[in-house]
Amino acid sequence: MAHIAGPTTPTRHESGAKRGPDVERLLALQAFNARLVCMTVDENSYQEVVNGVWKVMGCDFCSLFLHDEASHSLKLVGSVGYEELDPELEISLADSASMHIQAFAEEYLVHVNDLTDQYGIKTLSADLRSSLAMPIIANSGPVGVFDFGSREVGAFSPSEISMCSMLVDQMSYSLENIRLVNELSRSRDAVIRGMALLAEIRDSHIGGHLNRICAYSKYLAEALLDRPGYSEVTPTFIDTIARSAALHDVGKVGIPDAILLKPGKLTVPEFEVMKSHTTMGAELLEGLMRDYGEYGMISMGVEMAIAHHERWDGGGYPEGISGLDIPLSARILTICDVYDALTSRRVYKGAWSMEETMANIRENSGQHFDPELVKIFLARPSDLQAIQNQYPD
């Protein structure tokens, strides 16, 4: 049996009988299989898979690496037990001393029974005494490697290796599903972002505006993570707002050129038409969801499209809502949009300095903008400048 980290406390059935380690493993395996079937498909799923395998096997170490074609490496996407491991670790495919690379390249398991007798083999921890690296094989070939490790020499018997192999086979189907769903999601995001870019091009914003808006929104959302009062801000929220911010002005595709591109001040009737880009954008995105189903990026895009011209004091449009009635995503976007508009050059104005822009936003805090968000957004000017430098016009 593989070494189990720490003592195991027996539990009892309702009948009072003790459950042995084999029963515990069977229950863990059952739970793992059920989780593979129903787990949410996102980047966090990888760590869930690792946690599930670790609970079944009870070994000291587990990790999952996936092949990254762009960097020609195996990238760490989840681990248990390797407390000192860099979460951004990549192992080059050229590193023949790595067990993981050997398993990936040969498409066969690599088992080292006693690492103290081996020289020239790179390991993920100095505490490892025995290790097992197994390739994850999909229809297209190897896609990654899963490893099992123990602090004990000879921890992996033939039966243990068979169990590990079965688990890796089971997870390969789920990992392939995650990959395909992520690939579809990226393709869908690209199409939606292209639609948003068309709206920006018509409005002559063909530089880094969309990239900056998304980056500013992500920056502010990240600053809210774990703050009291912002329970809705999760890693998923941050990822979604970083993508959906690009959709806020998508309704401008329905505004006539004579109004959208007018260099001078708009008349009252023209401004009413311009204001309709908020509702048109929301209706366009809602139509996509009616036709093709719910999607987090589009759902948040609806919020931002319709509410990014609302004001904290209720003086905005199209609905005149105020304060916390304005969705958080739109309150974030409003600050980011104005900041970028003021610090960017347009055909009708020059770019304001950061100091002038920050002063203007502070002046309108509590009127146009959520005052708490203003303080947080402006707290680190160097980060804002870094975003502007990263995505120039």
The least confident of 36-45, 76-85, 348-357 is 36-45
pLDDT at 101 over 70: yes
What is the pLDDT, as a whole number, of residue 84?
Answer: 84
Beta-sheet strands, E only, within the chain = 61-68, 73-80, 90-92, 110-112, 130-138, 141-150
Highest average pLDDT, of 43-47, 207-211, 373-377, comes from: 373-377
| Cα 136 from Cα 66, distance rounded (Å) | 9
pLDDT at 25 over 70: no
Which CATH number applies to 203-390?
1.10.3210.10
Phi, psi of 119 (to 5 degrees): -125, 145
Query: Domain map of the chain by residue range?
Result: 21-180, 203-390
Indicate the fold that domain 21-180 takes in CATH.
Answer: Beta-Lactamase (3.30.450)
The least confident of 43-52, 169-178, 328-337, 379-388 is 169-178
pLDDT at 23 over 90: no
pLDDT in tens, 268-309: 999 999 999 999 989 988 887 887 777 788 899 999 999 999
DSSP per-residue string spanning 180-203: HHHHHHHHHHHHHHHHHHHHHHHT
C-beta contacts of 271-279 below 8 A and 24+ residues apart: 275/309, 275/317, 275/318, 276/251, 276/318, 277/249, 277/251, 277/252, 278/251, 278/305, 278/306, 278/307, 278/308, 278/309, 278/317, 278/318, 279/251, 279/306, 279/318
Burial of 285 (0-12, 13-18, 19+ CB in 10 A): buried
Let me know if the fold of 21-180 is the same as that of 203-390: no
Structure tokens at 232: 């809705």
Highest average pLDDT, of 158-167, 177-186, 310-319, 337-346, comes from: 310-319
pLDDT in tens, 313-335: 999 999 999 999 999 999 999 99
| Cα 2 from Cα 152, distance rounded (Å) | 8
pTM: 0.58
pLDDT at 381 over 60: yes
